[in-house]
Amino acid sequence: MSIVYACIVPHTPVLVPTIGREYYQKLKATTDALAAVRISLTNAAPETIVICAPHARAHEQRNPTLHVPAVYRSNFSEFGDIVTTAEYQPDTVVADAIKNTLNEAKISVVYESDAELEYGASVPLQHLGLTPLPKIVVLHPGESETLKESGHIGMAVQRALQASPKRIALIASGDLSHCLTENAPGGLNPAAVHFEKEMLSMIKAGRLKKLQKIDSALLREYGVCGAAPIAMLYGALEHMTITPNFLSYEHPLGVGNIVMEFCL
């Protein structure tokens, strides 16, 4: 069946109620949108979720990284929550197919086998939890020099997933600028606010070619960690018949949070 559903979601730890506490209530547009995504994801009934997340444990790893342990374990102790935990089973067959297709495309890929799931993957999975849990594969795009490289990685991923007999959902996890208000992690940067509007327009319109031309230095300056996973997702959906559904965007805490889904 191949790719049956795709979405873009944020991964701020504040989206976990036990972490966000009073701040969680300020993200109502986002949490309502994520509830809609959860319904769509449930209806799509994926056997496997491939999640593209930006924060590989091997920081500054230029090559894409496939994180495939014997079992994934998530916890949020680094954010003060020692109670919320989960385990997920990896789909090694789909992971191997992605690896082989990337290698065929002359894209070197790194394997990571640590059981601990980083928050860029664990926060969306916690919020979108399905019953029963599908198997998962976590793919980090790496520190590519350009978003064009991330898009090419996505195109190779598409070939691997479309050849699979399984029902697969594809999730791009990432936040946008971290410099949108005075209380933002990066402080207020008026240039980042203008940049965010332009980038948001590109994302909503699915303009992969325009996204690929964004200066990576600006992405780093404005703290946009979601650009590479989003470019990878659009690469993976290239030339497919999709129905995009923009669900929400807000930045009450100074970080851009976008939720968007694609029905196939």
Q: What is the pLDDT of residues 171-212, one digit of tens each?
A: 999 999 999 999 999 999 999 999 999 999 999 988 778 888
Crossing angle, helix 28-44 and helix 119-127, to 10 degrees? 80
Angle value at C-alpha 230, between 256 and 102, nearest 5 degrees = 150
**pLDDT tens per residue across span 64-108:** 999 999 999 999 999 999 999 999 999 999 999 999 999 999 999
Looking at residue 78, the DSSP 8-state letter turns out to be G
168 in Cβ contact with 47 (< 8 Å): yes
121-125, 204-208, 241-245, 259-263: range with lowest mean pLDDT: 204-208
180 in Cβ contact with 192 (< 8 Å): yes
Distance CA 4, CA 262 (A): 9
Cα–Cα nearest to 227, from 241, 245, 207: 207
pLDDT at residue 205 in the model:
86
pLDDT at residue 57 in the model:
62
